[in-house]
Structures are given as C-alpha cells and as structure tokens.
Amino acid sequence: MEKIIINGGLPLNGDVYIDGMKNAALPIIAATLLCGDTCIIDNVPAVSDIAMLLDIIAGMGAKVEYLDKCRISINTANVKPGCSPFDLVCKIRGSAYIIGAEIGRFGTAHVGYPGGCDFGVRPLDLHLMGFEALGARITVESGYINAVSPMGLHGNSIYFRIPSVGATVNCILASVFAEGVTTIEGAAQEPHIVDMANFLNACGADITGAGTSSIKVRGVKSLKGCHHTIIPDMIEAGTYMAAAAITGGCVRVHNVIPKHMESVCSVLQRMGVKLDIGADTITVHGDGKLIATDVVTQPYPGFPTDMHPQISALMCVADGVSRMSELVWDNRFRYINEFQKMGTIISVADRTASFTGSQKLSGAPVVSTDLRAGAAMIILALRAHGTSQISKISLIERGYDNIVGKLASLGADIKKVDE
C-alpha cells in the first residue's frame, strides 16, 4: 500500500496538462462493444478505472491493444455476451455500461452488479426501467442483472425523473439498434454524454439531441469502427485550478474546453480567484486569499458534484462562512471527518455543510474516502502548515494519472511512499 506525503505552504507555479475525461472514456469503451469492429481511441486517461474496464471487455473477448500510453485499439468482433468477469465488474461503476451494451448488441445481458464510490445508495432503477421500456425483461439473481428480449428491442419514449448520467448512457447504448425511434426525456446533459454520442454517430449510429434534456436515437442496422479522441477532463482541470487557488501562485491549465468549466470558473471567481480564460487554457492567478461563498451541486450545466470536495477545501480557508449543499448524492460528506483532523471548522445539517474559514490548518494523517475526496485532501494538505500523510491513494488513482508528479512539477513538496 502506498501513501502520499505533503509538506504544505508552498505556492504552485507553472504548467499542467489535462488528460482525457475518465467519465467520457468509460461509456465510449463500453460503446465499442456495439461495433463488432476495430476502434482507435485517443486521449484515453491512464487511470485504474479505465484499465479495469478494458480488462473487463478483454474478458468478454475484445482484443485490446495499447498503441501508446493514451491511444488504444479495441476490436470487439469476437465478444460474447454474459461473460464479463464478475470479480472485476463489482469494482467500478463504469461496469454498469456493459449491461446496456450487451442488451444493445445481443438483446440479452448477464452482468454482475457494478461497484463505484460509496456516496450512499447508488440505485439502478432508472437504467432497468429504460431497458424494460425498450422491450427487455430484467431479472436480478445471485448478484447478476439478467436481460432477455424475446420479441426484440423496439424504440420507445423513456422519461427520467432524475437526469441520471449512467441511465442516460445505458439507454442510448441499449437503443442504438432498437427498431424505430427512442426518445429519452429528462436526459443528463453532461459533456461526456455528448462525447459518447459523437463517438457512436461516427460509427454510424443516429443520435440527436445529446447535450440537451431530450435525446432521440433512431435504430440502425449495424455500426463500424471509428477513430475518436476523448474530450479533456473538466473535473481534473477543476482540481488543479482549486490547488492553484488555495496555494497562491500562477498555474496555466492546458487542454481544457472552457465551455465545460463555466460553473466551476464562476465559483472560483466568486471566491476572488483571478482567471485568464483562453481558447484551450485557463490561467489561475492565486494569491491564497479567498472569499466565502455558497455552492449548490446540480446536474450539468449546474455546479458538478464531482468538484464538491475540492471546492470545500477552499471554503475551509476562505474569509467568512461558506456553505456547500450536495443535492446529487445522499452522502458525499464523509471527507469532513478527515478534513477536521487538519483543524477545519465545519458543521453539517441535512444536505448542507457550513465552513468557517481558518488560517490555522495543520498537516495531519488522513484517509481518502473516495476518488474526489482524496483529491480534496491533497488540496487542503498543500495549504496546511506542516506534514500531511494521505493513505488509500488507490482511490485517487482511479481518476487521476500521476497527480503527485503533476503537482511536484508545479512546485509542491509532495511524494508517494510505501505505507
């Protein structure tokens, strides 16, 4: 087991280059299962969730080749349904997309329940409701989700009471070959939905409306392979912007799509952070002084829940009282137990945490509770006086490639050591 050691109090300066978006690469890798051909995917982030999903589809018969660190060739001609490795599927949330892809391509599915970060309940009811609307019959037995569609899959209208990212992805995957037209109302609008739809359309699918709350999928007969480049990771970018803001210093964040960062930039600017926003670069001019503000997490284009812990770290040192309201997940506040070990002043009532800014934070040994919470602990430790140790860093490496190296190159006193 490894841990991260940080000596805080140093400003960050320099250039950081953002990788491809994990939460776009996962649905696109699952979508290759629909092609039965060879796809070349560029800008794939070298993170463990991606490696895990590639192992899962390889276990189903896909031929996966790393052409470079971030370029992958995937051929799914020989993929068989019902043989995704149960012991791997249960480790990541991205496995849920195997269900939609199997149903889409084969009309049947036999996939173990997916895993994912522990934010409380993570139901799949919207996914299953969508599959049934398309003509699949779902049963759950011995930890597996099974689907059959004896009458074939047919287009239908699907309405989501919550704009679920995963359910939107899965219903698109399951409906690509369905007879007729499928309409998904109340769809998630995240950029990663758009990226997956662009990938599938490049393979010959007929998807319109991605990025809006109303998506139409017209069934086609087959797909061919294509060459696609994954969009940059807006959450990784926001994470490094938050690190620059809390430590002070000037950091240029390269390979971003500013349009995807609007809500994050707006919050940072409200907190007094000066940003220069270019075509594909955002420069953060931090002076370490931050102003308290209130934030509410919402589905895109609202403020992303996956930036909640990182901005909470800034709230711990902002001048005044800030409030973070988490409206997407039931229980995303587990990181607070760890933040408090550094001397933060936080109270929680219902879905809102209140932070009283303090300049007396001290380094401490903390444990990462999930992917984004772990990144937030790094951010807080970069500001705190003294030494912090962050353990369970495998959770952080699920979504961040070389976070220690990237921060060290910006001047942080940070290293990874064996526990």
Rule CB under 6 A: say whether 378 interacts with ligand EPZ. no
Site string for ligand EPZ, 121-150 (x = CB under 6 A): xxxxxxx-----------------------
Q: Count CB-CB contacts under 10 A for residue 152.
A: 12
We find the least distance from the C-beta atom of residue 124 to ligand EPZ, in angstroms, to be 5
Rule CB under 6 A: say whether 117 interacts with ligand EPZ. yes
Site string for ligand EPZ, 8-47 (x = CB under 6 A): --------------xx--x---------------------
Candidates 28, 145, 153, 167: give the one binding ligand EPZ (CB under 6 A).
167
Rule CB under 6 A: say whether 399 interacts with ligand EPZ. yes
Site string for ligand EPZ, 69-98 (x = CB under 6 A): ------------------------xx----
Residues 6+ apart with CB under 8 A from 59: 83, 84, 85, 88
Rule CB under 6 A: say whether 164 interacts with ligand EPZ. yes
Rule CB under 6 A: say whether 228 interacts with ligand EPZ. no
Kind of pairing, strands 71-75 and 38-42?
Answer: antiparallel
* Residue whose CB is less far from ligand EPZ, 346 or 371: 371
Distance CA 84, CA 107 (A): 16
We find the least distance from the C-beta atom of residue 130 to ligand EPZ, in angstroms, to be 9
* Residue whose CB is less far from ligand EPZ, 28 or 361: 28
Rule CB under 6 A: say whether 162 interacts with ligand EPZ. yes
Rule CB under 6 A: say whether 194 interacts with ligand EPZ. no
Rule CB under 6 A: say whether 232 interacts with ligand EPZ. no
Q: What are residue 38's DSSP bridge partners? A: 75
We find the least distance from the C-beta atom of residue 106 to ligand EPZ, in angstroms, to be 22
Is there a contact between 222 and 202 (Cβ–Cβ < 8 Å)? no
Query: What are the C-alpha distances in Å from 88 to residues 165, 353, 360, 369, 392?
Result: 21, 34, 43, 20, 19
Rule CB under 6 A: say whether 260 interacts with ligand EPZ. no
Is there a contact between 95 and 88 (Cβ–Cβ < 8 Å)? yes
The stretch among 29-37, 118-126, 360-368, 407-415 that binds ligand EPZ (CB under 6 A) is 118-126
CA count, 13 A, side-chain hemisphere, 235: 26
Distance CA 160, CA 45 (A): 30
We find the least distance from the C-beta atom of residue 136 to ligand EPZ, in angstroms, to be 15
Site string for ligand EPZ, 281-320 (x = CB under 6 A): ------------------------xx--------------
Rule CB under 6 A: say whether 357 interacts with ligand EPZ. no
Catalytic entry in 117, 203, 265, 316:
117
Q: What is the DSSP string of 239-274?
A: HHHHHHHHH-EEEEEES--GGGGHHHHHHHHHTT-E
Distance CA 61, CA 33 (A): 10
Distance CA 352, CA 300 (A): 19
Q: For this structure, is 117 an active site residue? A: yes
Block residue for tokens 């491809």: 20
Angle, vertex CA 93, rays to CA 142 and CA 397, nearest 5: 130
* Residue whose CB is less far from ligand EPZ, 13 or 352: 352
Distance CA 343, CA 357 (A): 10
Block residue for tokens 């309405």: 159
Total chain residues near ligand EPZ (CB under 6 A): 26
The dihedral through the CA atoms of 405, 406, 410, 416 has a sign that is negative
Q: What is the DSSP string of 50-81?
A: HHHHHHHHHHTT-EEEEEETTEEEEE-TT--T
Candidates 328, 361, 395, 403: give the one binding ligand EPZ (CB under 6 A).
328
Look at residues 397, 412, 409, 408 and name the one whose alpha carbon lies nearest to residue 3: 397
The stretch among 9-17, 136-144, 164-172, 283-291 that binds ligand EPZ (CB under 6 A) is 164-172
Rule CB under 6 A: say whether 371 interacts with ligand EPZ. yes
Question: Residues in the site for ligand EPZ, rule: CB under 6 A?
Answer: 22-23, 26, 93-94, 117, 121-127, 162, 164-167, 188, 305-306, 328-329, 371-372, 399
Write out the catalytic residue numbers: 117
